[in-house]
Every structure is written in C-alpha cells, then in structure tokens.
Amino acid sequence: MFRWYSTVFSPVLRHRHRYHRWSNRLWSASPTLVFSAQYHLPRAQNLHFSTSRAMTSTTHAQSSVTPPQTVCVAVVGVGLVGSEFISQLQHFPAPSPFRLVLLASSKKLLFAPDGLAPTVDWQAQLQSSSTKHDYAFLTRELGALVRPGQKVVLVDNTSSEDVARLYPSWLKLGIDVVTPNKKAFSGEAGLFEGILAACAESGARCLNEATVGAGLPVVSTLKDLVATGDKVVKIEGVFSGTMSYIFNNFSTGSADGPSFSAVVKTAREKGYTEPHPGDDLNGADVARKLAILARHIPAIPRTLLPAGYASVQTQSLVPAALATAPDGDAFLAALPAHDADFDALRRQAAADGAVLRFVGVVDVEKGEVRAELKRYSNTHPFATSLGGSDNIIMFHTERYSPRPLIIQGAGAGAAVTAMGVMSDLLKLV
Ligand SMILES: NC(=O)C1=CN([C@@H]2O[C@H](COP(=O)(O)OP(=O)(O)OC[C@H]3O[C@@H](n4cnc5c(N)ncnc54)[C@H](OP(=O)(O)O)[C@@H]3O)[C@@H](O)[C@H]2O)C=CC1
Ligand SMILES: N[C@@H](CC=O)C(=O)O
Ligand code: NA
C-alpha cells in the first residue's frame, strides 16, 4: 500500500575528504560567510581558521561607526504564519527597531517605505492596494533601502519555490532573508550553494530556524554543536507536527479510534499541515527537514543528498489514487475512501502492543537519511510522551553519548512557527 521512493545511499567516510575540500572553499570565500558553512569546524585546522576569522570580525564590529538603528521588514506571504508573524512584530515592545515596509500576497503588494503604523489594519490596506505583486519592483525598492544604519530583512512566509529561487539575488543586494519556507535549503544543491555564495559576497544573512521544528531551537542547536567541535553521530525523532498530531490521536495502542481522514482534517484545521496536506502525508516535509539538517553536518558528504529531499529514502502514506489530487480540498474529500487501509494498520499494531509513529533519521555513520512509518511498543517514549503536534528531536553526538540531547515541544502551528521566525529576526538586530 505504501510506496518508497528515491533512494540514494553513499558511504559517508569514503567521501569525507571531498566534503572538506568544499567546506574549505566556502570558508576561504569570505570572512563574512554566515550561513551553515561557517559552522563547519570538524577539524583542528578549521577551528584555528575560524578563530582568526572571528577575531577579524570582532575587530571590524568594534571599529564600525554605528550599529543599525532601523530594521526594515518586508513580509512576502501573509497566510497563517505570515499573519501571526506580523502580529508578533506589531506587538514588539517599544522602542521597536522594526519598520514594516512591505507586504505581499501572491497577487497584491503594499509598499510603505516610511513604515506602517503598528496599529494599522494591514489586511484592509493590502486588500485595497492597487499595486500588483511584482518582484522586479520589490527587489529594486528594497535594495534601495539598504544603507548604513538601516538593515532590510525579507521574511518569506510562503511555501513557494519561485520565491525561494530569488533569495540569492536579494542576498547579493545586502537584503537579509529570514524564512520558515523549506524549499531553498532542501531542494537541488545549486540553489543552496547559490545562497551560500550570495551570503559570502555581500555579508547578508539567511536564517531558517523555523524550517525544522517550527519555533523549537533545532537548527541553532545543531549549528552550535558543530561550531563548538562536537561530532554528530545521528539525529532521529519525530519531525512533523502534522504526522505527530495524526498518529498521537489515531494510534494510541487501542484497536479502535477516530478515522484517519477525520484526524488529518483536524490537523489541517489546526494549521499544522502544509498548504496541501499531501505534502505532509507523502513524507516530503519530513524528508525536507532531514535534508536541511544533514546539510549542516560536516561529515555528511554533498554526494549523499544531490537532489536534497528527493534523495532521502522516504515512505509515502498517500494512497496512489490521491497522488495527483490538485489541491488540499480535493485530497481531503477523497481520503475517507482509504480509511479502511489505515484502520487495518492500527489494528495490527495494537494487536502487537504497539503504536504507529512517523519518524526520521540522519545516520551519519551509516550514511543513511530516512523518513518512515514505524511501530513502537506502547511503553516507548514516542508512545507515552508525545502529545498534540509535538516534535521530538534527539541529537546523538560524541559529547552527548550515551544519552542524547533531546528537544521536544509543539512542532507546528502559527504561533510557534512565527516565534521561530521572529527569533531569527532578533538575531539580526
Ligand atoms: N504552519 C506551520 O505550522 C508551519 C509552517 N511552516 C512553513 O511556513 C510557510 C507558510 O505556511 P502557512 O502560513 O501555514 O501557509 P499558508 O498557506 O497559510 O500561507 C502561505 C501564503 O503564501 C502566499 N503565497 C504563495 N505564493 C506567494 C508568492 N509568490 N508571493 C507572495 N505570497 C505568496 C499565499 O497567499 P495567497 O493567498 O495570496 O495565495 C498564502 O497565503 C510554509 O513554507 C510552511 O512550510 C514551517 C513550520 C511550521
Ligand atoms: N506541515 C509541517 C509544518 C512545519 O514545518 C509540519 O506538520 O510539521
Ligand atoms: Na526550529
């Protein structure tokens, strides 16, 4: 019933030397490289190199004239997360360094270089704007706002691949990018490398904490582990708020319970799913998160995930008949016809004293990255300690051994995701 796709395995150790060549090339590219490559410090000489770089940038910071006074914020994508992000921005305690200068939906754009007042009804203003969404206009106007003492940050709250492809051009102009959108970091290597190169060229930063575990400090924790010289052995856990919610409620150890389609529908109503819930159920969302994490691990060779998430060994839970459902509504309308298949899985697991959980693993030693539905005994922590949309992420490292570093909490939903975006924005101030 369930399909596996895109298996790309390669032995990690064999390719490690190639990875280091790449990593060192990025290091040499610029002292201001601030995305993931700056955290690649697996070897003594890299650590030494990084220390001298750090000293250089401290000296530079001390001698610079004034820290930025104003942070112009442009928000592209004003759906669930975008709206909540704007609300958190507008409620930022005074005196706020932030000036909301641009809002864009997929159709309209509102540009206010002097900033919208925190009390403004932005929805009404955007709705009544006569300016059509236009990336050339947006790029030109935002680029013109970058100047000493004034930062410009573009916050991409869409799930659009087209928007993600524009990051390098914005970063090159010195516009920082903050986003919960996974597309740029989990797809083909070219875009990801373009982002690193653009950061290196201009010194702009691209932060993506909310792409994994929403507001949970997962990406920053991994960066810190690597930056301080720890060696990641394995990262495993429950990475999808949607899958967590679904199976925490659908598979509780009992043979009976709510229908699968009903639980999926509720997950969508609660704002946990991707715009198309099929992107959660086909495992792609988890595969994307695993690819994002894997790309931060120095010992993972680039050749392991040449196509990003598409190279992750992924189990899809989408029934074949629904693989081409055009949108979320069509998908959910047709899902009840497949409830019996999921019922059977639940019954079989319950009969064996087990529950179902959708998990992911980045296994550095084995050179494996996998996302799959697995059974766990009723007494396993994945059965007893997860609730709601909880993610649980376990970092097994040289230092955190034999007991892993564990991060757990809500892994989806507008409030916690917007908080993750906001926390990145604060890192730029
Ligand atoms: N929901 C969650 O719990 C989490 C979400 N994320 C990520 O956050 C992002 C947003 O998710 P969410 O808010 O739930 O999704 P929504 O579908 O609610 O919002 C996305 C918005 O993006 C807009 N949009 C699409 N394309 C464009 C474009 N080219 N330019 C401008 N706007 C565009 C759509 O607007 P329009 O109506 O105009 O088409 C839509 O309102 C996604 O990348 C998601 O993966 C990450 C972690 C958790
Ligand atoms: N749809 C995603 C949202 C967060 O990334 C999930 O359910 O985890
Ligand atoms: Na996070």
User: pLDDT tens, 253-288?
Assistant: 999 999 999 999 999 999 999 989 999 999 999 999
Q: What pLDDT is attached to residue 256? A: 96
Question: Does residue 204's CB lie within 6 angstroms of at least one atom of ligand 1?
Answer: no
The residue contributing the CA closest to ligand 2 atom 4 is 412
Torsion angle defined by CA atoms of residues 284, 214, 378 and 351, in that order, rounded to the nearest 10 degrees: -30
Torsion angle defined by CA atoms of residues 132, 122, 161 and 156, in that order, rounded to the nearest 10 degrees: 130
When the pLDDT of each residue in the chain is averaged and rounded to a whole number, the result is: 87
Distance 274 CA to ligand 2 centre (A): 6
Residue 65 pLDDT grade (very low, low, confident, very high; cuts 50, 70, 90): low
For the entire predicted model, the pTM comes to 0.87
Q: What are the pLDDT digits (tens) for 100-120?
A: 999 999 999 999 999 999 899
Please tell me which residue, 8 or 354, carries the higher pLDDT value: 354
- Ligand 1 atom showing the smallest separation from residue 81 Cα: 13
pLDDT at 25 over 60: no
Residue 232 to residues 51, 382, 404, Cα–Cα distance (Å): 21, 22, 10
Residue 302 pLDDT grade (very low, low, confident, very high; cuts 50, 70, 90): confident
Q: What pLDDT is attached to residue 67? A: 54
- Ligand 2 atom showing the smallest separation from residue 279 Cα: 1
- Residue 289 designated active-site: yes
pLDDT at 296 over 50: yes
Q: Measure the CA–CA gap between 285 and 129, rounded to whole angstroms.
A: 34
Query: Residue 407, Cβ neighbours under 10 Å: how many?
Result: 18
Residue 41 pLDDT grade (very low, low, confident, very high; cuts 50, 70, 90): very low
pLDDT at 21 over 80: no
pLDDT at 215 over 70: yes
Q: Reduced to 3 states, what is the DSSP secondary structure of residue 320?
A: helix
Q: Reduced to 3 states, what is the DSSP secondary structure of residue 399?
A: coil
Question: Does residue 279's CB lie within 6 angstroms of at least one atom of ligand 2?
Answer: no
Distance 161 CA to ligand 1 centre (A): 11
pLDDT at 50 over 70: no
Output the CA torsion sign for 111, 210, 409, 282: positive
The interaxial angle of helices 414-427 and 80-90, nearest 10 deg, is: 50
Ligand 2 pocket test: pick from 183, 242, 268 the residue with the most ligand atoms within 8 Å of its Cβ: 242
**Span 347-360, mean pLDDT?**
98
- Do residues 243 and 406 touch, judged by C-beta distance below 8 A? no
Residue 126 CA: which ligand is closest?
1
Q: What pLDDT is attached to residue 68? A: 54
Torsion angle defined by CA atoms of residues 392, 385, 358 and 85, in that order, rounded to the nearest 10 degrees: -50
Q: What pLDDT is attached to residue 43? A: 27
- Do residues 199 and 315 touch, judged by C-beta distance below 8 A? no
Q: What are the pLDDT digits (tens) for 370-399?
A: 999 999 999 999 999 999 999 999 999 999
pLDDT at 8 over 70: no
> Side-chain half-sphere of 389: how many Cα atoms within 13 Å?
25
pLDDT at 4 over 60: no
- Ligand 2 atom showing the smallest separation from residue 417 Cα: 4
Tokens representing 195 are: 């982002």
Kindly name the residue from 132, 182, 289, 427 that is annotated as catalytic: 289
Q: What pLDDT is attached to residue 370? A: 98
Residues 6+ apart with CB under 8 A from 328: 268, 273, 275, 276, 277, 278
Residue 225 pLDDT grade (very low, low, confident, very high; cuts 50, 70, 90): very high
Residue 99 pLDDT grade (very low, low, confident, very high; cuts 50, 70, 90): very high
Q: What pLDDT is attached to residue 392? A: 98
Residue 289 CA: which ligand is closest?
2
Distance 159 CA to ligand 1 centre (A): 5
pLDDT at 15 over 70: no
Strand ranges across the sheet with 176-178: 109-111, 98-104, 70-76, 150-156, 176-178, 206-207
Q: What pLDDT is attached to residue 293? A: 98
Q: Measure the CA–CA gap between 233 and 41, rounded to whole angstroms.
A: 15
Question: Does residue 209's CB lie within 6 angstroms of at least one atom of ligand 2?
Answer: no
pLDDT at 23 over 50: no
The residue contributing the CA closest to ligand 2 atom 3 is 412
